Structure 1
Amino acid sequence: MKIVIIQVRGFLNGSGGTEKIGCYLANNLAKNNFEVEIATNEHTSGNPFFPLDEMVQITNIFDKQHIQKHLLDLHNYKGKNPFSWMCHKVVKKYTKLRNKILLKKMGGIDGLNTFNLSHRSQAWNKYIIAAKPDLIITMNIGSLLEITYENNYEIPIINSVNGRPDYDYSDLLWYRSENEMRLIKESYKNLAAIQVLFDSYNNYLPDTFTGQAVTISNPVLQVNDSEIIDHCKEKERFKIINVASLVISCKQQDIAISVFSGVANKYLNWDLHFWGIGNDLEKLQNQVKVLGIEDRVFFNGFTSDPLEKMRESDLFIFPSKYEGFPLALVEAMSVGLPSVGFETCSGVNELIEHTANGFLAKDENAMRESLEVLMTNKNLRQQMGIIAHEMVKKYNEKDIMNKWLDLITQFRKN
């Protein structure tokens, strides 16, 4: 049985959760004697960030001959040379005019996007016909839309959802035009099945979906009972840790800094550590500087071994606005860290059991209070950490993969 896993963009060199799960699926399917190919369409070169079995084939269908029309980027001149400023101003006016002409010709931004989508879909159709898969797994709804737009396949398609489903087809988190939302919703009609991360996420599927919905959470690397954190161990300094991309709009590290600043002067032997990279690093550093806690808040950059950094810590703070299945949070739980997050955050409110393995806060003040309770009670940290570690055991790789195999084998040809 040949299975093609499709992630149209972001797979090459990508180190996010979608790429991690894609490689996990490919590796385990290959070990179970499936013929596996990962396909992408990226104007870049590179390799998967996560280890991939040598039996898994990678195909990038990108071709410069594929027709795509793009708006030119607008840039502001930041120098002080008056001649360069004038030249840049002329270029910027030309760019605006060129973009205006293109949008008028294409019938607006929706027309331009649909034109490009149609041509990418034609390229995918050509590839799929040649590849002859028995089953397709799309790693996000954008990939599903791109391969099925104006195309019909008898090949069963399973979509893997890496967040709460309604975030994919609505404008709850960011702007989507009415046309874009309509096209995305229609793409669900092409699915034989969909994988969601939690049972409650079934309530957020669109009414256009008529296939089979199956709950399969993400796998989590298991930590031995003997290797979890001992919170009763004497130490001079303590660490609150956050592991995530530095993206304020989603991960809200600015809130973590604000919350910590409210207790920093009271608990002088506690520090706040961030692990991760992102575009908002400078903003966060400036916030720390304004608050005068530069010597207590640390931006450590990327780590290839987050579990080790978590083992060195005492609390996990995770103030995200929204999540799907936050791997960093579950990994923190696996090593025995109690966690604090927001009760309104999807994914987080599925994993943190309030007062059992951590605290779910309704606002910043409640998060600060929860943090302080844990900072002052090592026995509570120990108790919650053990419960968190035990909870994570149900997400072991073997059981999760067996659920995937049960789903996939339903579509095996006799």
Structure 2
Amino acid sequence: MEPDLFSWLKRAQVPYVILCQANRDDSNFSAEDLRAGRYILSQAKAVVFVSRHNRMLAERQFGISLPHAVEIQNPPPLRDWPELAWPPASPVKLATVSRLESTAKGLDLIIPALADALGHQSDWQLDLYGEGPDKEKLQQLAAAHGISDHIHFRGFVADISTIWQEHHMMLLPSRFEGCSIAMMEAALCGRPVLATPVGGVDEWIVDGETGFVAKDISQAALVDALRRAWLARADWAQMGSAAKQRAHQLLDPQSGDKLLNVITGAVI
């Protein structure tokens, strides 16, 4: 909590709206931060969360109820979601779409988990899309676990649908999220997602039906989820279709207007 911001908000008495884009379960707040957080959250005209998970987590962290909180999606950038044919069965192609860093995105968890769960298999690959500060560390991690031949760094791709034309499943091993837009995009393109139980996942992924959800945020839980997924890979195409259907049911095309209304309503 920035003390200058806290002091200014108390002094200025101006209306404000809080937009929470992510929240993490392992946040440890000092007593001073808790007091400041409760004040700032309770005095806001509205608190906007991008997932139910993040809202419930914030209420638990600060020990307060937020009746003035609302949940509004971040809209994915694509508007016309293509009908993509299912890729050839071999090789099994997995993908992550995120910045290449491990603190939030958990990429340091998924590489050893893949080595443990699938290292004895030959017919698979993981393509990592994105750029970031941990690329070299992740390359070294793949080498240390003997799976460098299976791990490929693909950089940035402008058209997300081209990724899902070629890949069977998205991996989302994050330690925390608000609600992953990349997850939403994969589902809207008809691909199942294997994820940790972070923000938005419980709303968008039904374990065993539209994807796979690890029991917790750990390497061991990811190994278990990967093994379950591998054994069920004959069902992935059907799961992708179910993921697409569910995603279209959940997608809110009015989310931008809703956020604007919340902000303008706070100051008018």
Would you say same fold, with TM above 0.5?
yes
CA RMSD of aligned residues (A): 3.1
What CA distance in whole angstroms lies between the structure 1 residues aligned with 2:244 and 2:79?
Answer: 8
Q: Do the aligned partners of residues 279 and 234 (structure 1) sit closer, same or farther apart at CA in structure 2, a change above 3 Å counting?
A: closer
- 5+ long unaligned stretches in structure 1: 1-109, 122-144
Q: How does 1:1-400 map to 2 (within 5 A)?
A: 114=3, 117=4, 145=6, 148-153=9-14, 156-164=15-23, 167=24, 173-174=26-27, 176-199=29-52, 201-203=54-56, 204-205=58-59, 206=62, 212-221=68-77, 227-231=82-86, 233-234=87-88, 236-343=90-197, 345-362=198-215, 364-375=219-230, 377-396=232-251, 398-400=253-255
What CA distance in whole angstroms lies between the structure 2 residues aligned with 1:367 and 1:337?
Answer: 18
What CA distance in whole angstroms lies between the structure 2 residues aligned with 1:406 and 1:151?
Answer: 23
TM-superposed CA distance for 1:152, in Å, is: 1.6
Q: Do the aligned partners of residues 223 and 371 (structure 1) sit closer, same or farther apart at CA in structure 2, a change above 3 Å counting?
A: farther
Aligned-partner residue type, residue 39 of structure 2: E
Q: Which one has the largest radius of gyration?
A: 1
What CA distance in whole angstroms lies between the structure 2 residues aligned with 1:288 and 1:199?
Answer: 34
Deviations 1:205-245 (A, max 9, x none): 346676622221222245656x34433x5354331111122
Percent identical among aligned pairs is 22
TM-superposed CA distance for 1:286, in Å, is: 1.4
Deviations 1:170-212 (A, max 9, x none): xx54565443443333222431111122345443334667662
What CA distance in whole angstroms lies between the structure 2 residues aligned with 1:184 and 1:411?
Answer: 19
What CA distance in whole angstroms lies between the structure 1 residues aligned with 2:138 and 2:41?
Answer: 39
TM-superposed CA distance for 1:284, in Å, is: 1.5
Using CA pairs under 8 Å that are at least 6 residues apart, name the structure with larger relative contact order, 1 or 2. 2
TM-score normalised by structure 1 residue count: 0.55
- 1:220–1:397: 8 Å Cα contact kept in structure 2? no
Aligned-partner residue type, residue 211 of structure 2: G
What CA distance in whole angstroms lies between the structure 1 residues aligned with 2:145 and 2:63?
Answer: 48
Please give the secondary structure, in 2, of the residue aligned with 1:249: coil
- 1:241–1:317: 8 Å Cα contact kept in structure 2? yes
TM-superposed CA distance for 1:306, in Å, is: 3.4
* Aligned length, in residue pairs: 263
Please give the secondary structure, in 2, of the residue aligned with 1:317: strand
TM-score normalised by structure 2 residue count: 0.81
Please give the secondary structure, in 2, of the residue aligned with 1:267: coil
